[in-house]
Amino acid sequence: MEKQKKKNTMDEKSGLDDQLDQAQLIEETGSVRSEHSKHLIHCLNIIGQVEGHMILPEDTKTTKYEHVLPALIAIEQDRSVEGLLILLNTMGGDVEAGLAIAEMIAGMYTPTVSLVLGGGHSIGIPLAVSADVSMIVPSASMTVHPVRTNGLVLGVPQTVTYFEKIQERVNQFIMRNSHISAKTLDQMLLNTQELATDIGTVISGEEAVACGLIDRLGTLHDAVETLYHLIETAAPRYPDA
């Protein structure tokens, strides 16, 4: 009887430790692992603004790229993690930081599925299309607009050239990882009829799929089932192991 009580106490302590570890993981990286499921998948949230080299105010909801990058490395090398589900609800943020995260995701062997919830605006678009399969809920939207900056910039030709090169990098990444054409993407970027104080285009979930930017419409259930399918049909990562 005493042994059983001791075992129950240890089990409760272990469960509490697991909950604390999970809570710390969510707080620090916005991610969580689902271990009691059909396949072991890791869920990564990209929310608010993507924070890059500049620290944003404390009252701003952010995704810190210095947390996300090592998390992606850990996921890629962890043999127990079978898939990565990326949930996006972001207004954009630091272009180079967002593009760095997108390149990391696109270069992973681990099967990946992204799901846009609410919004996947600005640099959120490369993040959404970086997954093996990109999905969006019907109520979500995406804003396609040229690279821009806030604050003081030098009004010289070199500055214009710099932004043109950044925009080209973003465009090439989007086209490599989606089915949108260069012509359609340019039309959306340079649209002057939709946004009152800016140029660009806001598209719904259905429109994002229709133009080839996102692969398909879907719900959370659809995204999980799609990820399971990718896991089950993928070639073995370590065939000789």
The residues annotated as belonging to the active site are 122, 145
β-sheet bridge partners, residue 151: none
Closest-CA residue to 127 (of 201, 68, 207, 186): 68
- Taking the CA atoms of the chain, what radius of gyration do you get in angstroms? 20
Pick the closest to residue 220 from 49, 35, 43, 25 (CA basis): 43
115/216 Cα distance (integer angstroms): 10
Residues in the chain, how many?
241
Number of H helices, E strands in the chain: 8, 9
Is residue 27 packed enough to be buried (19+ CB in 10 Å), middle (13-18) or exposed (0-12)? exposed
Please, what's the b/e burial string for 167-186 (b: 16 or more CB within 10 A of its CB; e: otherwise)?
A: eebbbebbbebbebeeebbe
Q: Which two tokens stand for residue 172?
A: 């090439």
